[in-house]
């Protein structure tokens, strides 16, 4: 084994979360409960997964923290921004994801997590109307105020490093515009000119985080860091960025199940996915402009796994143009379900001599219960990447994300195949630990 090139995880790690709703309060409460020995961090790769390092007689299966230096959960300090002024304890109760008995034991710590005023623009999430909002002259002022918040949090808590995580609502779709989003200088000029159409509030958070030395993770399908201008900033600041959209329920199933069809050489004529969901995320996604952002991210998964151009007999039929299977995604806001999302997948396949068959998957999942461990893993692994000197888009984190970032300007395709993503993750941990990245991705 060569030596690990990772700086030791010394001191406290500040985790600043944009949005103090269902996902983030479930994440925070869980971490605090685990610290007290009152819960288990189930679903978290960094806490449970073991990776093989070495081969033959040297083969060992080790936890991540045995391969690379990782912070303990005791070293995490939370902060947040939100449009609603409720503290983390009140918000956790309001969200009704966790039972009161699983929140009360850490009430003292949760009460202290009081959200800073959010940088918010109602045009980007029309269904939200909180009043805990910054008064910003323009987008540049928005950036400056967020940067000030990060500096203040660092000074007051004494943390040695910070990671910024977006766990807020899906913004309306911002199409990539080459004139504004391709070069950092153009993006900065747009911020200074208060171009609200092309500069989303989330871009101000990402810009501020990177300028303040904090890796940034995009947990929604927003365009935010998925633009060349932000890649340029990440290169300039030597910081990791990751995104986009937490891969929790239906897309996790899709990225794990579609390889069965591909590996077994079965045909696909259509895949219809629908969801019912009742939390604040569902409310925001009930607005067509916000749903479009989500739809783009959820639709991208299958097309890179089951490719019509590679296997035209299997994947080249099913829709009106008859060039590819038919793929549709729907999300329906349904308040009675709250955070307990239900995803239905109706899959029309065909086999020998073209005979049709069907597969139905009904996943009654809990959105925030699946997202919380992803938040933990993304935060810890982004911090790890930073300490290992990795910067720019962290493709090895694709495993956790619905629409993984990739350089579309160069025609690069995202890897959406769950098992290939897992190989990328393992290889990156091995490399950072000073071992050989010894698994093939193909």
Q: What are the tens digits of pLDDT across the range 179-212?
A: 999 999 999 999 999 999 999 999 999 999 999 9
The count of C-alpha atoms lying within 13 angstroms of the C-alpha of 87, restricted to the half-sphere facing its C-beta, is: 12
Mean pLDDT of 369-387: 98
pLDDT of residue 319: 64
Q: Name the pLDDT band for 288 (thresholds 50, 70, 90).
A: confident
Mean pLDDT score of the chain, rounded to an integer?
94
Residue 106 CA to residue 94 CA, distance in Å, equals 16
Mean pLDDT of 401-430: 96
Nearest to 51 by CA among 427, 436, 372, 440: 427
Nearest to 108 by CA among 32, 43, 214: 32
Q: Name the pLDDT band for 321 (thresholds 50, 70, 90).
A: low
* pLDDT exceeds 80 at position 12: yes
* pLDDT exceeds 90 at position 292: no
pTM: predicted TM-score of the whole model, two decimal places: 0.95
Q: Do residues 360 and 257 make contact, with C-beta atoms less than 8 angstroms apart?
A: no
269: how many CB neighbours lie within 10 A of its CB? 18
* pLDDT exceeds 70 at position 356: yes
Q: Do residues 246 and 372 make contact, with C-beta atoms less than 8 angstroms apart?
A: no
pLDDT of residue 394: 98
Domain 13-246+368-432 has CATH 2.40.30.60: no
The structural domains of the chain, with segments of one domain joined by +, span: 13-246+368-432, 250-364
* pLDDT exceeds 80 at position 280: no
Q: What are the tens digits of pLDDT across the range 76-120?
A: 999 999 999 999 999 999 999 999 999 999 999 999 999 999 999
* pLDDT exceeds 50 at position 1: no
Q: What are the tens digits of pLDDT across the range 382-402?
A: 999 999 999 999 999 999 999
Query: Which conformational region is residue 102 in: left (phi greater than 0), alpha (psi within -120 to 50 degrees), or beta?
Result: alpha
Nearest to 217 by CA among 167, 261, 146: 167
- Give the class (CATH, top level) of 250-364: alpha beta
Mean pLDDT of 18-35: 97
Outline where 280-355 has alpha helix (H): 280-285, 288-303, 312-315
* Tokens coding 360: 């139905």
């Amino acid at each position: 084994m060569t030596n690990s090139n990772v700086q030791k995880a010394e001191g406290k790690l500040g985790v600043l979360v944009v949005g103090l709703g269902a996902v983030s309060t479930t994440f925070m409460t869980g971490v605090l409960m685990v610290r007290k020995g009152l819960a288990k961090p189930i679903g978290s790769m960094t806490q449970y997964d073991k990776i093989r390092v070495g081969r033959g007689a040297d083969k060992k299966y080790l936890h991540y923290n045995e391969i690379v230096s990782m912070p303990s959960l005791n070293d995490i300090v939370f902060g947040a921004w939100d449009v609603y002024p409720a503290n983390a304890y009140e918000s956790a109760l309001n969200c009704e994801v966790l039972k009161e008995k699983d929140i009360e034991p850490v009430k003292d710590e949760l009460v202290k997590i009081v959200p800073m005023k959010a940088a918010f623009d109602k045009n980007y999430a029309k269904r939200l109307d909180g009043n805990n909002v910054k008064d910003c002259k323009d987008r540049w002022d928005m950036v400056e105020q967020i940067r000030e918040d990060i500096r203040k949090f660092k000074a007051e808590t004494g943390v040695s490093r910070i990671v910024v995580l977006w766990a807020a609502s899906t913004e309306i779709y911002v199409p990539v515009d080459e004139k504004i989003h391709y070069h950092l200088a153009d993006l900065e000029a747009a911020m200074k000119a208060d171009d609200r159409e092309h500069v989303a509030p989330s871009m101000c958070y990402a810009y501020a985080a990177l300028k303040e030395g904090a890796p940034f993770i995009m947990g929604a399908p927003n365009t935010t860091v998925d633009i060349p201008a932000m890649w340029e900033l990440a290169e300039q600041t030597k910081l990791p960025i990751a995104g986009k959209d937490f891969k929790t329920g239906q897309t996790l199933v899709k990225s794990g199940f579609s390889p069965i069809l591909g590996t077994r050489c079965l045909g696909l004529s259509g895949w219809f996915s629908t969801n019912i969901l009742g939390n604040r995320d569902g409310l925001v996604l009930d607005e067509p402009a916000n749903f479009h952002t989500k739809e783009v991210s959820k639709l991208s998964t299958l097309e890179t796994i089951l490719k019509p151009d590679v296997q035209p007999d299997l994947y080249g039929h099913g829709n009106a143009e008859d060039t590819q299977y038919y793929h549709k995604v729907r999300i329906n806001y349904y308040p009675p379900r709250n955070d307990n999302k239900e995803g239905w997948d109706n899959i029309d396949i065909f086999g020998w001599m073209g005979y049709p068959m069907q597969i139905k998957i009904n996943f009654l999942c809990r959105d925030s219960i699946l997202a919380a461990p992803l938040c933990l893993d993304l935060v810890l692994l982004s911090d790890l990447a930073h300490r290992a000197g990795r910067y720019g888009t962290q493709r090895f984190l694709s495993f956790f994300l619905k629409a993984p970032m990739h350089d579309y300007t160069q025609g690069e395709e995202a890897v959406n195949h769950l098992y290939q993503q897992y190989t990328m993750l393992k290889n990156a941990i091995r490399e950072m630990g000073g071992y050989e990245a010894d698994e093939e991705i193909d």
